[in-house]
Each structure stands twice: as C-alpha cells, then as structure tokens.
C-alpha cells in the first residue's frame, strides 16, 4: 500500500498514526522472528452473516447538551457517527454529569445501544435508579451491527462544521472511554481485547502486467472529516514495518500495530447483565414525539436514540452513513486483524468480520438503504482469499 493509501486507510480506520510510523526506521531485535499465523479460511461459503446499519453522523459532532421539556430535563447523547462504541463511555460520562446536576434519585434513558447502555450504567454508578425505555434491545440495535474496533475519530464530525472546541471535548471523551474500556479487558467472555493488526501491501505487478484493476483505490473524501488521532498519540500504538525475514506474509510491504477490539455480543450482554444486577429496569417502548416522552412523568431523561433522533427530535442535521460487515465462521485460533487492498478484518469471537472500505470515508454517506449486499461481501472475501490460497481447499 502506498504512503497515501496507508494514510487514507488509516483515516477510514481511525489509525491516524499509521503513516507517520511507517516512515520510521524499522525496529529490529534479536527476538524478532516470523510468527506463524493461522490462515483465515476466506471462503464465501463460510459467510454466516451480512449486517448493514446506518452510522448516526452529525457534521457538528455528537450532540451532548440539555433541553427543558416542561419540568423534564432532557440530556441528549446521540450522533456519534462511526465512533459510537469507541467514544461511548466518554460521551456518556459527560451526559450523566449533566443529568446528575440536580442529584435526581431516578433517571430514564431512552435507547439501549452503546450510548444508552453506558449512560444507564454510569447513572447507576452515580446513585440513580435507572429505567431504560427503547424500541429495540441489543442485538437488534445499530450498535450490534458495528465492526467492533477502537476508532474514536471515525466519521465523527466535519472539520468546517464541528462545534468550536469540539477537538478538546473529543479528546476528553476519547481518553475517558479508553480508560473505561480497559476495565473490561480480561473478563469472562472477552468483551474487550487487544490484537495485532497487519497492513499487507501486495507486491507491485511486473511492468506490462495487469495492474490489479480489480483492486479499487480508496476514493478521496469529498468532505473533510476531522482527524484527531494525534491528540491521543500517547495511547495509540504506532505501526511499524515488519522486516521481510520476520514477516508472516510474502508481500512487498507489511506493517504491524495493535488495536483494541470489542466483541460486541459479549460486551453488550455484559453491560446489560450488569445493568440488571444493579437493579436496572427495561421497558419496551417506541416514541414518535417528545410529548410521549414528557408523558413518562420523569424528571431527568437521557436521550440516546442514535439515528432515531432524526425522526423523534426532528434533528435533520443527522446524516445516515450506511455500512456493511460480513462475518465468517469463527476461527478461535485467528487472533490478528488485517488491512489488505481496502479490506479490513477483525478477529471477533463471534466470527471474523470482513469489511470493505473501497469507497473511503464517503462510502454510504447519506444512504438509507439497509439491504445487505451479498455481492459486496463475496467480493471482499474473494480479495482476502488472495492472501490465503490454501484456504480454498481447507
């Protein structure tokens, strides 16, 4: 992958430190040896799921502020684009601080995705009795269909539309979230873990040969999405080139880093179980207007409705950004992620996630169609199979 390609990939994946690191002199040590990686069985008959969801993107950045509805204090906490899981604890910590200003004994949370569950948990920890009201629980929410990577600045705002001071707010949210995700490492079910991630660039084709037209280049973003990774460089593992003799892949260029991943089914279940153990209540409810929320008669409500806030709160600044992931049958021994020809893999415990990002950050922008695209998933798996020829017969 070219330096520009790495940069673009890194901004899509949220790995802004990647290009800088790859220009470093490769670190060599006598301990460096080629690790033997278990090959991914990249076959289309192993696709067990194709999931599509809409990222709730706000050009100004997520909405975390308050509004009065009669006697009721509404705290908004929605619009986290491609960073909802990553920023969840940090954004919810800000929302819960606003909600607890008057020391309420009871708090209602609307929404049961990443933001609703983390808001509910933090409100409980702050001493409130909490009821979640939502149309869907995990695993039916958008949050259940996310890739599951630490990508705190992925499609989270536009540089020329972000609220003044948003960079500083973002940094606070990212650092708080990072620390709290860390508390879920090493737990049964592995809700959160760190894995190696490889970026593999295929060798250049010989002169005159097919230049690989099947590998689309990452489209240049038409919009200027914010990129804040340098603000948290101290907690962001850098990418290092892997010397050829220590590389598990025969490719022109291989770089390795580490990334925090979220095993979403287990993270969601852990959060939901902990919420119930702490006395939380869940009520299934669908609201079509704020007046129905007012009718709940609660004093403090945290609104974590994600893209649902567009209709419910008439927030037309919310832009849907369609995204699709496919999952291959789990391979417990595959404990590394990959970036290869605009394909990303994440070794989740519930299946190996395969995602195409050929369209760059603009892919799916303002698209509301949530129909799974099997052909896209098969193309992505087919590209991945180039790295694992033995997978065709295994």
Ligand X SMILES: Cc1cc2nc3c(=O)[nH]c(=O)nc-3n(C[C@H](O)[C@H](O)[C@H](O)COP(=O)(O)OP(=O)(O)OC[C@H]3O[C@@H](n4cnc5c(N)ncnc54)[C@H](O)[C@@H]3O)c2cc1C
- Contact positions vs ligand X (CB under 6 A): 53, 55-56, 78, 80-86, 110-116, 134-136, 141-143, 146-149, 151, 285-287, 304-308, 312, 323-325
Cβ proximity to ligand X, 84 vs 104, nearer residue: 84
Q: How far is the CB of 49 from ligand X (least distance, A)?
A: 12
Cβ proximity to ligand X, 238 vs 367, nearer residue: 367
* Structural tokens at position 90: 């940090």
Q: How far is the CB of 233 from ligand X (least distance, A)?
A: 19
Alpha carbon distances (Å) from 393 to 49, 177, 340, 359, 366: 22, 42, 21, 31, 40
Residue with tokens 């690989």: 212
7, 19 contact by CB (below 8 A): yes
In 3D space, the residue among 92, 78, 33 whose CA is nearest the CA of residue 313 turns out to be 78
Cβ proximity to ligand X, 114 vs 242, nearer residue: 114
State how far the Cα of 22 lies from the Cα of 201, in Å rounded to an integer.
Answer: 12
Residue with tokens 């250049």: 204
Cβ proximity to ligand X, 113 vs 360, nearer residue: 113
Find the Cα–Cα–Cα–Cα dihedral 269, 151, 41, 217, rounded to 10°. Answer: 150
* Structural tokens at position 232: 């948290």
Cβ proximity to ligand X, 209 vs 375, nearer residue: 375
Cβ neighbourhood burial of 186 (10 Å; 0-12, 13-18, 19+): exposed
Cβ proximity to ligand X, 251 vs 261, nearer residue: 261
State how far the Cα of 78 lies from the Cα of 99, in Å rounded to an integer.
Answer: 15
State how far the Cα of 23 lies from the Cα of 55, in Å rounded to an integer.
Answer: 32
Q: Which residues contact 38 (CB under 8 A, 6 or more apart)?
A: 331, 333, 334, 335
Q: How far is the CB of 51 from ligand X (least distance, A)?
A: 7
Cβ proximity to ligand X, 293 vs 300, nearer residue: 293
Other C-beta atoms within 10 Å of 317: how many?
Answer: 13
Q: How far is the CB of 152 from ligand X (least distance, A)?
A: 7
Max alpha carbon distance in the chain (Å)? 73
Q: How far is the CB of 115 from ligand X (least distance, A)?
A: 4
Q: How far is the CB of 203 from ligand X (least distance, A)?
A: 30
Phi/psi of residue 217, nearest 5 degrees: -85, 155
In 3D space, the residue among 127, 128, 123, 152 whose CA is nearest the CA of residue 11 turns out to be 152
Q: How far is the CB of 56 from ligand X (least distance, A)?
A: 6
Q: How far is the CB of 52 from ligand X (least distance, A)?
A: 7
Other C-beta atoms within 10 Å of 140: how many?
Answer: 13
- Name the DSSP class of 252: S
Q: How far is the CB of 208 from ligand X (least distance, A)?
A: 39
Cβ proximity to ligand X, 109 vs 251, nearer residue: 109
Q: How far is the CB of 356 from ligand X (least distance, A)?
A: 10
Cβ proximity to ligand X, 147 vs 247, nearer residue: 147
Cβ neighbourhood burial of 164 (10 Å; 0-12, 13-18, 19+): exposed
Cβ proximity to ligand X, 242 vs 264, nearer residue: 264
């Amino acid at each position: 992958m070219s330096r520009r390609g790495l940069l673009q990939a890194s901004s899509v994946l949220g790995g802004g430190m990647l290009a800088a690191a790859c220009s470093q002199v490769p670190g060599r040590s006598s301990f460096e040896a080629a690790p033997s990686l278990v090959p991914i069985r990249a076959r289309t008959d192993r696709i067990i799921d194709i999931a599509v969801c809409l990222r709730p993107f706000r050009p100004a950045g997520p909405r975390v502020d308050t509004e009065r509805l009669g006697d009721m204090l509404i705290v908004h906490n929605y619009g986290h684009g491609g960073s909802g899981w990553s920023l969840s604890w940090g954004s919810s910590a800000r929302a819960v601080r606003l909600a607890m200003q008057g020391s309420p004994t009871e708090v209602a949370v609307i929404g049961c995705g990443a933001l609703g569950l983390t808001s509910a948990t933090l409100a409980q920890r702050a001493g409130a009795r909490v009821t979640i009201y939502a149309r869907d629980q995990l695993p039916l929410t958008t949050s259940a269909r996310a890739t599951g990577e630490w990508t705190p600045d992925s499609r989270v705002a536009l540089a020329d539309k972000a609220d003044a001071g948003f960079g500083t707010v973002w940094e606070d949210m990212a650092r708080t979230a990072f620390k709290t995700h860390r508390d879920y490492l090493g737990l049964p079910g592995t809700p959160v873990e760190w894995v190696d991630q490889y970026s593999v660039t295929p060798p250049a084709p010989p002169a005159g040969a097919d230049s690989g037209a099947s590998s689309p280049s990452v489209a240049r973003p038409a919009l200027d999405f914010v990129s804040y990774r340098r603000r948290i460089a101290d907690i962001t593992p850098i990418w290092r080139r892997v010397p050829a003799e220590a590389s598990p892949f025969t490719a022109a260029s291989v770089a390795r880093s580490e990334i925090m991943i979220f095993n979403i089914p287990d993270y969601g279940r852990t959060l939901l179980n902990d919420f119930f153990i702490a006395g939380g209540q869940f009520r299934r409810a669908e609201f079509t207007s704020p007046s129905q929320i007012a009718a709940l008669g609660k004093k403090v409500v945290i609104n974590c409705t994600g893209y649902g806030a567009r209709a419910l709160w008439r927030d037309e600044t919310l832009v849907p950004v369609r995204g699709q992931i496919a999952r291959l049958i789990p391979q417990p021994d595959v404990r590394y992620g990959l970036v290869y020809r605009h394909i990303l893999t994440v070794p989740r415990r519930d299946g190996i996630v395969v995602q195409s990002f050929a369209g760059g950050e603009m892919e799916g922008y303002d698209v509301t169609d949530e129909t799974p695209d099997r052909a896209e998933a098969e193309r992505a798996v087919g590209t991945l199979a180039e790295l694992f020829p033995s997978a065709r017969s295994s």
